[in-house]
C-alpha cells in the first residue's frame, strides 16, 4: 500500500509543490526519508515519533519509507513535519488514506504536537495555490499574517496536530478551522514620522526630493555635516503613497525569506544599510540558501545610502544592474537566480572626509589630493545614474523663517504626478524645448543616459501640473538639478 499527500519546498527564489509518498517494507521498525532531504528534514523523524507517541500512536511498526518528489530538488526546512506524520498514520492504517490525497500540509511539529510557524510561507503558499491538485491547505496559525495576503478560501489555520486530525478525519468533517483574517498593521518605525516641516528654508532640497519621489529618479544629496541631508532622505519614507495589494504581496514575499512577517502592511520599505555592509549582504547571496540583499529588501521602497563614498566599491558598482532593470541576478554554481530590486535610490555624501570642503564657516583639514580621492570614489557611470543632484548648506539651518513647502503639499504632488505618469506614455516636447535641448546637446555633449534622465525629470515636473507637454521652465528646472558629470 502507498499513502500520498502534498506539501511544498523552496526552489531558488520560488516555491515548488512536493508530493509525499509513503510505503511499508518488512524490515526493522524505522523511518527513512528519500528525495534529497537536508538535516532539518531528516531530523523530522525524531520530532514526528515523539509527537505521535505523545498522542498515543505507536509508529513505526515496520520500516516506513517516505519519498519526497520531485527527487532532484533539494528539500530543506521544517515544513514537511505535518505532511510526513499524516502520510505515516494513514499508511499504518489509523485513518483512510484517500482523505488527504488532495490536502497540502505546511508546518513544523513540536515534540508535544503543536504547530510551529514556518519560514518562507509566502512562496510555499503561492506554489500550492497555483497547483490544481491542491484542494485545501493547512498551515500554522502563527503564519496568519502571511496567509492573509492571499485571501484564499482554500487556506485553513491550525494550532495542533490533534486539530489537524479532527479536521481531516473527524466524524463531522470538516471540523471548523479558522481562516486567515486581515492582520493588524504593525506600528510604524520612527523613520515614518520625519517631516519636511522640520527643515527650514530648504525649498530647493524639498522640491528636488518631491520630484525624485514622483518620478522615481535617483537623487544625490551633497553638503557639509549637519545640513539636514539625512533628515531630508528620511522624510521620503512618509511621502511615498501606500503600496498596492500586489506590491504588498511582492514585498512581504521578499521579507519572508528572512523569516520576517510584514503581513498586510502597505507602507513602502525604507532601508538604510550602514556603509560597512558586505557586497553579498548588500546585493544578495548566500551559500546554502539565497538570501535577499538590501537592494531587494528596498523593493518598491527607498534605498538610502548615507556617506556614499564610504561604501565598498563592489557593492556600489553592483547597483548598476538593478538601477537599470529593477532586478538583480545572483549567479550560483548550479543556476542563476533573479530577485526583484526595484528600489528608489537616495544617497547622501559629504564633500570630503572631514566634511567642510567648500564651507565658508569651517576650515577643511583635507589636502586637495585627499578631497579629489574621496569624491572620485563615486565612478562616472554611477554618478551618471543620479538624475537629480542637490547641494545643501548648513547655513540654512539657522534661518528662522519657514518656507511654504509643507509635507502634505509634497505628498499630494507625489501622488498626483505618479497617477498622471501611470496613465500617460507619450513624451511631448514643444519645438522651442526641442531647440534648447539640441543646443544643450551640442554644447555639453551629453551622454544618451543623461539626455534621457533630463527629459524624464522635466516630464515629472510637467506631471505636477498634469501636463503632457514639457515646456521650457520644466527643462530649465531639470537642468538646474542635474548631477555633475564628474567630481573634481
Ligand atoms: Zn575636508
Per-residue confidence at 401, pLDDT binned at 50, 70, 90? low
Per-residue confidence at 188, pLDDT binned at 50, 70, 90? low
Least trusted range by pLDDT, from 219-223, 275-279, 405-409 = 405-409
Distance between CA atoms of 45 and 66, rounded to whole angstroms? 10
Residues 6+ apart with CB under 8 A from 338: 13, 327, 328, 329, 330
Q: What is the pLDDT of residue 463?
A: 92
pTM: 0.87
Give residue 296 CA to ligand 1 midpoint distance, Å. Answer: 34
Q: What is the pLDDT of residue 176?
A: 66
Question: pLDDT for 325-364, tens place per residue?
Answer: 999 998 877 778 889 999 999 999 999 999 888 887 888 9
Give residue 358 CA to ligand 1 midpoint distance, Å. Answer: 9
Give residue 361 CA to ligand 1 midpoint distance, Å. Answer: 13
For residues 336 and 271, the answer to whether their CB atoms sit within 8 Å is no
Give residue 374 CA to ligand 1 midpoint distance, Å. Answer: 9
Question: How high does pLDDT run on average in the chain?
Answer: 88
Give residue 18 CA to ligand 1 midpoint distance, Å. Answer: 59
Give residue 355 CA to ligand 1 midpoint distance, Å. Answer: 5
Question: pLDDT for 426-452, tens place per residue?
Answer: 777 888 888 888 888 888 888 888 888
Give residue 470 CA to ligand 1 midpoint distance, Å. Answer: 40
CB-neighbour burial class of residue 431 (10 A; exposed 0-12, middle 13-18, buried 19+): exposed
Q: Which residues pair with 292 in a beta bridge?
A: 284
Give residue 363 CA to ligand 1 midpoint distance, Å. Answer: 8
DSSP SS3 for 9: strand
Give residue 179 CA to ligand 1 midpoint distance, Å. Answer: 60
- Domains of the chain, earliest start first: 2-169 (3.30.230.10), 190-416 (3.40.50.300)
Phi first, then psi: what are they for 459, rounded to 5°?
Answer: -65, -40
Most confident of 49-58, 282-291, 424-433: 49-58
Distance between CA atoms of 51 and 46, rounded to whole angstroms? 9
DSSP label at residue 222: E
- Residue 397: is its pLDDT beyond 50? no
Single out the residue of 388, 302, 309, 390 nearest to residue 350, CA to CA.
Answer: 309
Least trusted range by pLDDT, from 70-79, 189-198, 438-447 = 189-198
- Residue 194: is its pLDDT beyond 60? yes
- Residue 139: is its pLDDT beyond 90? yes
- Residue 301: is its pLDDT beyond 80? yes
What would the mean pLDDT of 93-121 be, rounded to a whole number? Answer: 90
Give residue 371 CA to ligand 1 midpoint distance, Å. Answer: 6
Amino acid at each position: 500500500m502507498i499513502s500520498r499527500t502534498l506539501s511544498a519546498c523552496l526552489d531558488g527564489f520560488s516555491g515548488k509543490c512536493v508530493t509525499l509518498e509513503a510505503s511499508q517494507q518488512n524490515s526493522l521498525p524505522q523511518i527513512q526519508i528519500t528525495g534529497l532531504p537536508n538535516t532539518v528534514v531528516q531530523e523530522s523523524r525524531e520530532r514526528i515519533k515523539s509527537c505521535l507517541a505523545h498522542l498515543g500512536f505507536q509508529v513505526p511498526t515496520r520500516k516506513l519509507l517516505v519519498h519526497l518528489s520531485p527527487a532532484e530538488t533539494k528539500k530543506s526546512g521544517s515544513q514537511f513535519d505535518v505532511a510526513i506524520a499524516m502520510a505515516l498514520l494513514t499508511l499504518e492504517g489509523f485513518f483512510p488514506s484517500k482523505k488527504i490525497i488532495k490536502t497540502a500540509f505546511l508546518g513544523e511539529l513540536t515534540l508535544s504536537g503543536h504547530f510551529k510557524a514556518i519560514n518562507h510561507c509566502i512562496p510555499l503558499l503561492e506554489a500550492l495555490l497555483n497547483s490544481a491538485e491542491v484542494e485545501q491547505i493547512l498551515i500554522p496559525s502563527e503564519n496568519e499574517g502571511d496567509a492573509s495576503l492571499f485571501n484564499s478560501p482554500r487556506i485553513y489555520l491550525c494550532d495542533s496536530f490533534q486539530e489537524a486530525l479532527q479536521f481531516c478525519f473527524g466524524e463531522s468533517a470538516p471540523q471548523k478551522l479558522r481562516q486567515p483574517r486581515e492582520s493588524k498593521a504593525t506600528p510604524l518605525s520612527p523613520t515614518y514620522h520625519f517631516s519636511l516641516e522640520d527643515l527650514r528654508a530648504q525649498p530647493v532640497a524639498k522640491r528636488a526630493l518631491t520630484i525624485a519621489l514622483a518620478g522615481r529618479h535617483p537623487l544625490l544629496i551633497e553638503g557639509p555635516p549637519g545640513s539636514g541631508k539625512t533628515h531630508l532622505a528620511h522624510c521620503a519614507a512618509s511621502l511615498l503613497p501606500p503600496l498596492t495589494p500586489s506590491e504588498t504581496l511582492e514585498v512581504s514575499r521578499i521579507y519572508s525569506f528572512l523569516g520576517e512577517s510584514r503581513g498586510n502592511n502597505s507602507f513602502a520599505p525604507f532601508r538604510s544599510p550602514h556603509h560597512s555592509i558586505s557586497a553579498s549582504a548588500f546585493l544578495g547571496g548566500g551559500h546554502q540558501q539565497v538570501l535577499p540583499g538590501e537592494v531587494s529588501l528596498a523593493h518598491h521602497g527607498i534605498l538610502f545610502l548615507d556617506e556614499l563614498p564610504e561604501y565598498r566599491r563592489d557593492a556600489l558598482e553592483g547597483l548598476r544592474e538593478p538601477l537599470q532593470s529593477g532586478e538583480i541576478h545572483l549567479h550560483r554554481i548550479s543556476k542563476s537566480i533573479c530577485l526583484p530590486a526595484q528600489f528608489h535610490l537616495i544617497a547622501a555624501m559629504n564633500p570630503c572626509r572631514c566634511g567642510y570642503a567648500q564651507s565658508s564657516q569651517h576650515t577643511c583639514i583635507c589636502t586637495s589630493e585627499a578631497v579629489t580621492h574621496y569624491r572620485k570614489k563615486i565612478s562616472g557611470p554611477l554618478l551618471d545614474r543620479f538624475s537629480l543632484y542637490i547641494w545643501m548648506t548648513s547655513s540654512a539651518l539657522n534661518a528662522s523663517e519657514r518656507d511654504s513647502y509643507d509635507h502634505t503639499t509634497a505628498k499630494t504632488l507625489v501622488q498626483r504626478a505618479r497617477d498622471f505618469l501611470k496613465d500617460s506614455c507619450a513624451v511631448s516636447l514643444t519645438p522651442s524645448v526641442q531647440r534648447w535641448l539640441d543646443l544643450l546637446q551640442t554644447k555639453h555633449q551629453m551622454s544618451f543616459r543623461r539626455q534621457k534622465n533630463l527629459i524624464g525629470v522635466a516630464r515629472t515636473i510637467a506631471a505636477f501640473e498634469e501636463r503632457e507637454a514639457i515646456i521650457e521652465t520644466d527643462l530649465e528646472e531639470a537642468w538646474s538639478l542635474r548631477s555633475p558629470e564628474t567630481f573634481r
